[in-house]
Structure 1
Amino acid sequence: MVFAAPNDAVARAEEVLGTDPPPLHASVAHQVIGIWQRDWGDMRIALRHLRRARDLAARAESAEREADVLGTLGVALVHAGRTRQGLAAFERGVGRGSGHTRARVLYRRAYAWWVLGHHREALEDVRKAIPVLRQADDVIWTARALTLRATVHLALGAVERADADFTAAEALWDTTGQEHDKADAVESRGLAAFRSGDVPVALRLLDEAEERYAKLGTPTFMLNIRRCEVLMAAGLAPEALAEADAAIGVLDGIGGQSTRKAELLLGAARAARLSGDPHTAIARADLAVRLFAAQRRGWWETHARLVLIEARVAAGRGSGRLVADAAAVADRLAAFGAPAAPEASLLAGRIALGLGWTADAERHLAVAARSRHGGPPLARVTGWAAQALSARAAGSGRGVLEACRRGLDVLDDHRMTLGASELRARATEQGAELAALAQQASLARGGPRRLLEWSERWRATVLSAPPTRPPADPALLSGMTAYREIAARAEEARRDGRPVPALEREQRRLEREVRSRTLHIRGADPGGGDRFEPERLLRRLGDDVRLLELAVVDGRVHVLLCARGRVRRWAAGLLVDAEREAEYIQAGLRRLAHPGAEGRLPVVEAAGARLEELLFGPAVGQLGSGPVVVVPPGRLHRVPWALLPSLRERVLNVSPSASSWLRARETAPPPGGRHVLVRGPGLATGGAEVPELVDRYGTAVVLEHADARVPRVLEELDGAALAHIAAHGAFRADSPLFSSLRMADGPLIVHDFERLDRSPYRIILSSCDTARFASVGADELLGLVTALLPLGTAGVVASSAPVNDAAVVPLMLALHKGLSAGLSLAEALRDARAALPGDAVHQATGWAFTAFGAA
């Protein structure tokens, strides 16, 4: 019963022990309690019960019973870090048992070998056990053995063999009532999906396994370990670190398995390194190395040493000793047959390159590059990165660009299997090095046009194709409705000054549920998205429009000016200086949103002139007098572009990439020309522009008061020609896809917009912070505006800073006046700024708004 109904089994065992049972029965009862404590409780208590079970079996003079208990005890000793004692218990158990019992002990020893990282020994034992278990018609233990063999195959990178064993085991589990084993099978299938490169399915299966374990009331630390691995591959390293650290805390609190603690520490070290925290990574990895060494787990210890070296390099500690250490780790991993061996060779090559040891670097990189032609996507990317670095060391610019192209093609295909915009965006981080290498090679040997191509190759890729529309999942839809209701109640309580901790906890829980289900969405088949063609861009720009793409190479901004059939390049300032100046300006605009800060206006204007010099450099003299399109990197999304002196009186569009500007430019407006005006609750001005706009657009759909509810708003927005939304905006830096606009029934979030078949052709967001983004991945932005652009919206007007609500009203009325006269959003916004009063509040309000896209 212990793996079918664990808590019931323990209760029954305690009942048996309360009846003064004979030694044989008491041995079984103590073994059950020992298993429960071993897997979900205190290892010291587990060992006490299992040793008692062994002694009682000996008193009962049952060799088979004693062999069975010795198998269970061996697993517990290994998990407690007492490897030598555990293996001795197995040896005795195999010798004491026969037939069917001996096969069960061999299965348990195979499991222990897997925990220790001795995969060949594990396969040998489990292969001996399976025929005997099948012959005895022992369905449960046969299924366990097949699941274990599949898991060992996965550790060795043999995904197809693992799939065959998982399929066979699953068919057997369907005939049993072993609920915990069934949950473990679901968890294992999640691991198999991950190893084959299917991150959404892996996340879904691991979440399903967690639900099953929760119903049984049993914690499972192996699930935490596996989910950390998947989260890191999905670009969610901070979440993986939080999960690992939380699980370590729980494990320490109950005195749980030492082996699992070491594995969790290894996961935490990897996650910390990927999160940009090398010092935490070093501390976690160093402790993991020591624990694995004490547990005699060489396979695991070697993996932990790899992470430790990576973290030391990230902390700036590159040295010849680390080259030797990384090479030794690569050799050991290769001897183990571990799929991570190419990563270690790549690391050794990188360190050697940094030291100028070209011959050593090329030798290690050549080994790592072998992985580029086979295996999961991320393993192939490792190989192509090694090939690109090897080509650079050899002075072959063409070889660098070819390797980068091939590697990014692999990541493109992988990225398109991800349905969630967040996962697509975060996945680009895995191609950041390849994109940077290609840009460096283009700058050194290619012309401006080639640098433009590579600047576009890995910029704003999440906008290259529409996100996969969320399925009509009743659980997802009901979760979003519940989230909206709780968020509305929490907001109402805050306004009334009532306590909200319980509501906030429930809101966070529902957020996790909605986000989790969204991450499960699978993408389309590989090959989505358009390839960027400079010639097509130059044709579209014509003679008047100038597009400035700001590419960042080695920390410096390079201006690529596209106009009149040519691409020219100028070097500008350092990106870090521009970011600092942009934040200073943002602080000034926040002050200017309130009356009484007029003295800050000259200071902010002077900062705008300094920022322009950093961003445009000599190119500022080449802008001509026509419209300008600025394509900034993601890290400059907070720049209020209209504040820059050369852009203040221009028709100005901003776009995350030249490709997205092209698509917006070529997007046709929908038939019918339907206008939608939405007014949310709680605005200081009450959305005063909306009633006047009703008069301007006599046939517009007007949604306000009780009509401004999310389902109705989404229904009317779908396919509209123009939408104006006056509603409080809230940007969520911690979870950008929960950035929202407040409606009558709660927040309208980015996830809601992604359910639209086609978002409005033009949309105006007249509230604060609606153009704020989270910069993630290599060069991606997540937020309200970037959710709209790939869904059919050709133009958005939104603010990147807090604004004065009263000053927004005349700006919006003037903007719509221009639209009614047939102007584009950018043209109408320029004229609207010019029509505002000349005081500081109105000027700052005008600068805060930007026209995104091309409509």
Structure 2
Amino acid sequence: MVFAAPNEALARAEGVLGAAPPPLHASVAHQVIGIWQRDFGDTRLALSHLRRARDLAARADSAEREADVLATLGVALVHSGRTRQGLAAFERGVARGSGHTRARVLFRRAYVWWVLGRHGEALEDVRRAIPVLRQAQDVIWTARALTLRATVHLAVGAVERAEADFAAAEELWGTTDQEHDKADAVESRGLAAFRSGDVPAALRLLDEAAARYAGLGTPTFVLNIRRCEVLMAAGLAPEALAEADAAIAVLDGMGGQSTRKAELLLVAARAAGLAGEAQTAIARAAVAVRLFAAQRRTWYETHARLVLIEARVADGRCSGRLVQDAAEVARKLAAFGAPAAPEASLLAGRIALGLGWTADAERHLGVAARSRRGGPPLARMTGWAAQALRARAAGSTRGVLEACRRGLDVLDDHRMTLGASELRARATAQGAELAALAQRASLASGGPRRLLVWSERWRATVLATPPARPPADPVLLSDLTAFREIAARADQARMEGRPVAALDREQRRLEREIRSRTLHMRGEAPGGGEGFDVGRLLAALGEDVHLVELAVLDGRVQVLLCGQGRVRRFEAGLLAEAEREAEHVQAGLRRLAHPGAQARLPVVEAAGRRLEELLLGPAAAHLGSGPVVVVPPGRLHRVPWALLPALRDRVLSVSPSATSWLRARGTAPPPGGGHVLVRGPGLASGGAEVPLLAEGYGRDLPDAYPRTGVPDAQRFRPPTVLEGDGARVPEVLRKLDGAASAHIAAHGTFRADSPLFSSLRMADGPLIVHDFERLARSPYRIILSCCDTARFASVGADELLGLVTALLPLGTAGVVACSAPVNDAAVVPLMLALHKGLDAGLSLAEALRDARAALPGDAVHQATGWAFSAFGAA
């Protein structure tokens, strides 16, 4: 019962002790309390109760009872860090027990061997225990033994054997009422899914297990550790670090198991390293190493040493001693059969290369490269990274590019198993090193065309395919509705000055639920899309249009100028300086959004000139006089490109990648699509352009209009206007789906902490990115006449998450959106002028250029025009 209903078992055991029981019964009660405290409470109290249970068993003269208690005591001693005493208790337990009891003792000793990382001994003990448990028809302990054996198999990379044991154990659990063990079985299946590379399934199963544990009221430290591992593999290292640190705080507060604390410190160190927090990683890993060493857990100590070396290298340290340490860690991990051994060899080789020790580097990298032939995706990527470094050391550009191509192909296939656009975007970080190696090799030997190909190979790849969408998921739809209601209530309470703490908590809870269900979605089967073709791009650009793709190599901006049948390369400034200047510009635009800041206008214009020098360099003089498409890296998407002098009076559009621009250019308007005007609440201007646009829609169509690709019959159709109570999210989504064009005047909010909860404010609450992703097809053209709608979070290798990037893969060919706070009143004339250009048959970029020119020359209107950009090619 202590595992099926732990709190009830604890209460009953305390009741037994209150009734002056005989020694045998008292031994059982103290053992139950000891198990509860060991797994869910204070290990010091656990040891006290278990020693009392052992002594009472001896007084009862029951060798079998004493053996059973000694096994429980052995586990508790090991978990408290007293490994030698714990193993000695097991030796006495094995000697005192016989038959069925000894098999249970052997199972628990196998568990301890697993905790200590001694997998050979664990498999031997469980091999001896299972036949006896089966013969005794002990379903519960047989299922536990099978689960443990599967877990040990996973630790050494034997995934197929583990899955067979998990399946057998789960079938047995189905015949019992052991709820805690059933939850553990779900958790174990989540671990197996993760080891086989299925991250969405792993997250789903671990979340299901967490819900089961919550129903039992039991802590979940092992689950926390496993979830952190999956989060790190999904590119969510900051979240893994936060979860590990929170679990450590809970564990310390309850006086919990020292072994679990060491394991949590290890995952926290790994997460900190992946999150770029080298000092935090060093601190956590150093404590983990000391704890594991004191607990005599060599397997874990070696893994912690690997993380510590990685963190020191990330912190800028490079020495022969680190090469030796990494090589020794690799040797030990290989002897253990640990899947992390190639990672350690890669690290040793990488440090050796940095020192110029080519012979040592080749030896270590050669070992690491063997993993490229098999295993889970990330292990194969480690192997291809090692192979690429070997080729670079040997001076083989062809070898570098081939290894990078093969490694990124592996990651492409892995990403396509992820349904959520967030996971796909964040997973690209795992290919950043391969992409950078290929770009450097291209720059050194292949000329600008090859550099362009590799710049495109790993740029905005998440936009290449639409995210998986679960429109039939009733729980997700219910959560989205509840989220909107709570968010709207919270906004209203803030305006009225009422407390919002409870509403904020509920909103955060719903956000977690929505995000969790989204991350569970599985993607389509692996399969590459159409490759990037430089010739096709140049043909599409023709003689007039230039595409400017900015690549960043070793911190410096490389300008790839495409047009007039060729690709030219220019070197510009440092990315870090450009980012700082862009922040200054954003601050200036925010001030210019308010009347009375006219004196700041020359300062902002000067900053625009500096930005041009840093981002375009000498390429600015070679842009010709025609339209320009800018393809910036993710970290530069907040730049107001129309502010740069060389781009200010041009037809200018922005695209996340050249591939994305080509796809947008080839996108046709939906047949029968209508036109939608939406006016949300709370705008200072009241969304004044919407009724004016509705009144004048479709008048005096010129002959030039058909070149936009929208048939005349569609264009004459009166627009659908959604405002007031009619501008509610379900109705807005229904009208947007498959529309030819949409204009949304609503307050925009960008969420840097959770970009897919960036929103547009509707009558019933926020319209968020997750809502847009449920559209079968987003509008062909969409104009977002509100603040911050063109802000993105740069994640992964070079990916963007935000409102605009949610629309582009779903059928939208062009978007007009804003990257800064703007003056609502000044937006109105800009939007009216923009639509006048569209009515004249212009593209979004052409109409936006003319609309800027038509604005008054004061600072507020100029800043408003610069803040808006046209994305895509419509």
**If the length of structure 2 is used for normalisation, what is the TM-score?**
0.97
Residues 805-824 of structure 1 show CA distances to partners (whole Å, capped at 9, x for unaligned) of 00000000000011111110
Please give the alpha-carbon distance, in whole angstroms, between the structure 2 residues aligned to 1:672 and 1:203: 41
Give the structure 1 partner of residue 519 of structure 2. 519
1:124-203 aligned at under 5 Å gives the runs 124-203=124-203
Give the structure 1 partner of residue 263 of structure 2. 263
Residue 528 of structure 1, CA deviation = 4.3
Aligned residue identity for 2:293: A
1:838 aligns with 2:857: yes
Please give the alpha-carbon distance, in whole angstroms, between the structure 1 residues aligned to 2:873 and 2:775: 20
Aligned residue identity for 2:32: V
Please give the alpha-carbon distance, in whole angstroms, between the structure 1 residues aligned to 2:467 and 2:651: 30
Of the structure 1 ranges 551-560 and 260-269, higher mean CA displacement relative to structure 2 is found in 551-560
Give the structure 2 partner of residue 739 of structure 1. 758
Cα RMSD between the aligned structures? Answer: 0.6
Give the structure 1 partner of residue 670 of structure 2. 670
Give the structure 1 partner of residue 64 of structure 2. 64
Aligned residue identity for 1:757: A
Unaligned runs of at least 5 residues, structure 1: none
Aligned residue identity for 1:68: D
Please give the alpha-carbon distance, in whole angstroms, between the structure 1 residues aligned to 2:725 and 2:603: 44
1:448-847 aligned at under 5 Å gives the runs 448-697=448-697, 699-847=718-866
CA contact (8 A) 1:804 1:841 kept: yes
Residues 525-578 of structure 1 show CA distances to partners (whole Å, capped at 9, x for unaligned) of 001433211111111111111101001111111111111221111111111111
CA contact (8 A) 1:675 1:697 kept: no
SS in 2 for 1:183: helix
Residue 697 of structure 1, CA deviation = 2.1
Give the structure 2 partner of residue 239 of structure 1. 239
Please give the alpha-carbon distance, in whole angstroms, between the structure 1 residues aligned to 2:846 and 2:117: 65
Please give the alpha-carbon distance, in whole angstroms, between the structure 1 residues aligned to 2:360 and 2:673: 65
Please give the alpha-carbon distance, in whole angstroms, between the structure 1 residues aligned to 2:644 and 2:555: 21
1:209-608 aligned at under 5 Å gives the runs 209-608=209-608
Please give the alpha-carbon distance, in whole angstroms, between the structure 1 residues aligned to 2:696 and 2:27: 86
CA contact (8 A) 1:348 1:361 kept: yes
Give the structure 1 partner of residue 103 of structure 2. 103
Please give the alpha-carbon distance, in whole angstroms, between the structure 2 residues aligned to 1:43 and 1:33: 11
Residue 673 of structure 1, CA deviation = 4.0
CA contact (8 A) 2:673 2:738 kept: no
Aligned residue identity for 1:702: V
Please give the alpha-carbon distance, in whole angstroms, between the structure 1 residues aligned to 2:557 and 2:291: 46
Equivalenced residues, count: 855
Residue 245 of structure 1, CA deviation = 0.4
CA contact (8 A) 1:550 1:558 kept: yes
SS in 1 for 2:505: helix
Aligned residue identity for 1:521: M
SS in 2 for 1:557: strand
Sequence identity, in percent? 85
CA contact (8 A) 1:464 1:530 kept: no
SS in 1 for 2:271: helix
Please give the alpha-carbon distance, in whole angstroms, between the structure 2 residues aligned to 1:448 and 1:837: 42
Residue 317 of structure 1, CA deviation = 1.1
Please give the alpha-carbon distance, in whole angstroms, between the structure 2 residues aligned to 1:473 and 1:120: 45
CA contact (8 A) 1:724 1:763 kept: yes
1:50 aligns with 2:50: yes
Residues 203-251 of structure 1 show CA distances to partners (whole Å, capped at 9, x for unaligned) of 0000000000000010110000000000000000000000000000000
Give the structure 1 partner of residue 94 of structure 2. 94
Unaligned runs of at least 5 residues, structure 2: 699-717
Aligned residue identity for 1:746: G
SS in 2 for 1:344: helix
SS in 2 for 1:752: helix
SS in 1 for 2:846: helix
SS in 2 for 1:646: coil
Aligned residue identity for 2:149: R
CA contact (8 A) 1:632 1:655 kept: yes
Residue 357 of structure 1, CA deviation = 0.8
Please give the alpha-carbon distance, in whole angstroms, between the structure 2 residues aligned to 1:223 and 1:838: 61
| Structure 1 consecutive aligned stretches of length 4 or more whose deviation exceeds 6 Å | none
1:85 aligns with 2:85: yes
Aligned residue identity for 1:703: L
Residue 795 of structure 1, CA deviation = 0.2
Residues 296-354 of structure 1 show CA distances to partners (whole Å, capped at 9, x for unaligned) of 00000000000000000011111110000000000000000000000000000011111
CA contact (8 A) 1:465 1:528 kept: no
Please give the alpha-carbon distance, in whole angstroms, between the structure 2 residues aligned to 1:117 and 1:333: 11
Aligned residue identity for 1:729: G
Residues 708-766 of structure 1 show CA distances to partners (whole Å, capped at 9, x for unaligned) of 00000000000000000000000000000000000000000000000000000000000
Aligned residue identity for 2:82: R
Residue 23 of structure 1, CA deviation = 0.6
Aligned residue identity for 1:29: A
SS in 2 for 1:551: strand
SS in 1 for 2:616: helix
Give the structure 1 partner of residue 706 of structure 2. none
TM-aligned CA distance change 1:273 to 1:594, over 3 Å: same
1:105-120 aligned at under 5 Å gives the runs 105-120=105-120
CA contact (8 A) 1:470 1:754 kept: no
SS in 2 for 1:647: coil
Aligned residue identity for 2:115: V
Please give the alpha-carbon distance, in whole angstroms, between the structure 1 residues aligned to 2:231 and 2:734: 34
Of the structure 1 ranges 202-211 and 532-541, higher mean CA displacement relative to structure 2 is found in 532-541
Please give the alpha-carbon distance, in whole angstroms, between the structure 2 residues aligned to 1:673 and 1:95: 80
Please give the alpha-carbon distance, in whole angstroms, between the structure 2 residues aligned to 1:661 and 1:529: 15
Residue 471 of structure 1, CA deviation = 4.4
SS in 1 for 2:72: helix
Of the structure 1 ranges 173-182 and 466-475, higher mean CA displacement relative to structure 2 is found in 466-475
Aligned residue identity for 2:747: H
Aligned residue identity for 2:511: E
Aligned residue identity for 2:137: D
Please give the alpha-carbon distance, in whole angstroms, between the structure 2 residues aligned to 1:745 and 1:471: 20
